[in-house]
Structure 1
Amino acid sequence: MHIDSKQQSIAATLALAPVVPVVIIDDAKAAVPMARALVAGGIPAIEVTLRTPAALEAVRAIAQEVEGAVVGVGTVLTPKDLHAAREAGARFAVSPGISPNILAAADDSDLPLLPGTATASEVMTLLERGYRHLKFFPAVPAGGHKLIAAWASPLPQVRFCPTGGISLSSAPDFLSLPNVICVGGSWLTPADKLKAGDWAGIELLAREARGLK
């Protein structure tokens, strides 16, 4: 798949809702009810991070069992991670930054990649490779919405999904910018609600996030 086609796929996924939940899941059994709660709340694109042993099993379960979910894999650091994400049924992959190896692997894979950036130089490097939709990470520590706003004029062809330190209250600062397509956030699937199986609570958080503009 050509980079343009993969970027169109990423764009369509990011446009599904104002927020992409960034999920750290310890128990794969929680994956399906969690994802169903998010979809019911209007949040279909879900990023499951490769930060726990349960992650790939969770992705596989969501991909197979949750209608309406568009599941992706986050914290993709190596070509092996990218391959494992594809094998698990992920529809997209997300990396916290960029490296020559991960970009080469993404070129050879049909799995769309949302690569992470924190500087204008990284954005320019990815532009040269055909990327127009990028993650901005870690969004708040790296400069927040003011930095992305400053990039809008010299880099108007890029749209961002800021992730890292964003909350329900601060998300509108980012979403109001013309070069932000959505935000990523971990607040939709807090560890206490996942552990307690509070799916109604997660659906409510998803509905709140769906209402963001």
Structure 2
Amino acid sequence: MQNDTAFIRELAGLAPIIPVLVVEDVAHAVPLAEALVRGGLPVLEVTLRTDAALDVIAAMATVEGARVGAGTLVTAQDVKASMEAGSTFGVTPGSPAALIDTCLEAGLPLLPGAATATEAMTLQARGFEVLKFFPAEAAGGIKTLKGLGGPLAGISFCPTGGVSAQNAADYLALPNVVCAGGSWIAPLDLVNAENWTEIEARARAAAALPRG
């Protein structure tokens, strides 16, 4: 089975930034999603790093305009549970063959993680054209993406990991970057403080970032 590349490209094209979300309290899910959608960031990655994550995904999936996916997929159980919760796409930090097999067999559209040319080429051979470049800054950041752009012209990237308000525009200016993922839009302290106004403002600023 092939990955749904068209679906992933559609998602990547909806906004320049995908918020990477860590949410500890399901009561925050709906107002957080609403603030992000109002701010122009409809594609939401909920990381499976808290006990509430699956319930958060289910709650956010009810918000009009939100496109909710699960991040930090590392096991077959993660894939199954996130789909049952309502995820419409998945994101992995890396791409072991067994995990990719599970996602393909389950029919989950996927943004798989890659940090090297070999990993990117392996995923491309399996039908993936849009990849998560992770951990972006630690893996060489903009210089590495520029280097990959020539030989791997058919691959687009969503850099995540160290992308911030200060460097996001530089990443988005690269021709092989379709969007970027970042946690600065809705950091845990603002979420726990229920500061939806500030989160919406950050989302609006991120949604206005130009792409190359």
Superposition TM-score tier, normalisation by shorter sequence:
over 0.9
Q: Tell me, in whole angstroms, the C-alpha distance in 2 between the residues paired with 1:17 and 1:40.
A: 12
Q: Tell me, in whole angstroms, the C-alpha distance in 1 between the residues paired with 2:143 and 2:2.
A: 29
Report what 2:2 is aligned to.
Answer: 3
Q: Tell me, in whole angstroms, the C-alpha distance in 1 between the residues paired with 2:31 and 2:22.
A: 15
| One-letter code aligned to 1:84 | A
**Structure 1 residue aligned with 2:23, among 6, 22, 25?**
25
Does residue 163 of the first structure (1) align with residue 160 of the second (2)? yes
Report what 2:203 is aligned to.
Answer: 206
TM-score, normalization: structure 1?
0.97
Deviations 1:175-207 (A, max 9, x none): 001100000000011112111111111100000
TM-score, normalization: structure 2?
0.97
Deviations 1:132-170 (A, max 9, x none): 010000000110011001111100000000000111110
1:30-49 paired onto structure 2 within 5 Å: 30-49=28-47
**Structure 2 residue aligned with 1:126, among 123, 126, 129?**
123
| One-letter code aligned to 1:125 | T
Q: Tell me, in whole angstroms, the C-alpha distance in 1 between the residues paired with 2:174 and 2:2.
A: 25
Displacement, 1:79? 1.1
Q: Tell me, in whole angstroms, the C-alpha distance in 1 between the residues paired with 2:104 and 2:204.
A: 36
**Structure 2 residue aligned with 1:117, among 114, 117, 123?**
114
Report what 2:170 is aligned to.
Answer: 173
Report what 1:56 is aligned to.
Answer: 54
Q: Tell me, in whole angstroms, the C-alpha distance in 2 between the residues paired with 1:14 and 1:82.
A: 20
Displacement, 1:8? 0.8
Displacement, 1:106? 1.4
Displacement, 1:59? 0.2
* Secondary structure class of the residue paired with 2:90: strand
Displacement, 1:103? 1.0
Q: Tell me, in whole angstroms, the C-alpha distance in 2 between the residues paired with 1:24 and 1:165.
A: 15
Displacement, 1:109? 1.3
Where structure 2 has 5 or more consecutive residues not aligned to the other structure, the ranges are none
* Secondary structure class of the residue paired with 2:61: helix
**Structure 2 residue aligned with 1:182, among 175, 179, 183?**
179
**Structure 1 residue aligned with 2:77, among 77, 80, 84?**
80
Report what 2:148 is aligned to.
Answer: 151
- Aligned positions, number: 210
| Percent identical residues | 49
